[in-house]
A and B are shown apart, each in its own frame.
Chain A
Amino acid sequence: NAGVTQTPKFQVLKTGQSMTLQCAQDMNHEYMSWYRQDPGMGLRLIHYSVGAGITDQGEVPNGYNVSRSTTEDFPLRLLSAAPSQTSVYFCASSYKSGANVLTFGAGSRLTVL
């Protein structure tokens, strides 16, 4: 049972480049979400999904897109990377019945030059 798998673990981009952070879970969780972690600011919600085909914005959605075509996968897309998007990104998932008990992936560290 792998839990929540994120790829890549590290990525360096130049300003203006695009990329996709991948997230997959094998626990059949209904809810999935993306957070970013910046020093001294805790984790902030970017986007979340309550099921396949349903996504919504979190606290800091600008510059990011998401989609959820299957229960298992929830990729995060950066359309035109900016230095302000340098951060550590975490994907998380949870059951509908225990929505607040999140299982997190190991994180993806992104640097935008």
Chain B
Amino acid sequence: QKEVEQNSGPLSVPEGAIASLNCTYSDRVSQSFFWYRQYSGKSPELIMSIYSNGDKEDGRFTAQLNKASQYVSLLIRDSQPSDSATYLCAFLDTGGFKTIFGAGTRLFVKA
């Protein structure tokens, strides 16, 4: 069964620091990877998608993909208390054509 592994956390970082969130995935042929943020009691919201090896930057967020290692990460620079949430990693299962989500990493940014 294809799956995503994420450290459940909580990951605690001080305000202004870089938060690093990581996940590994089991689908060797997947081409599409996603990061979602979910605040407590809310639904997931898309932060970023990444399809090619390397880095993709959007504001304070940088996604990194390494297909050979089946590894994707999300860096949050200048972390703010408002970044405190659960971050979900996901990939497209091309065999079943469905998106598979990890259980999420809880991030706390301390003011």
Chain A partners chain B: no
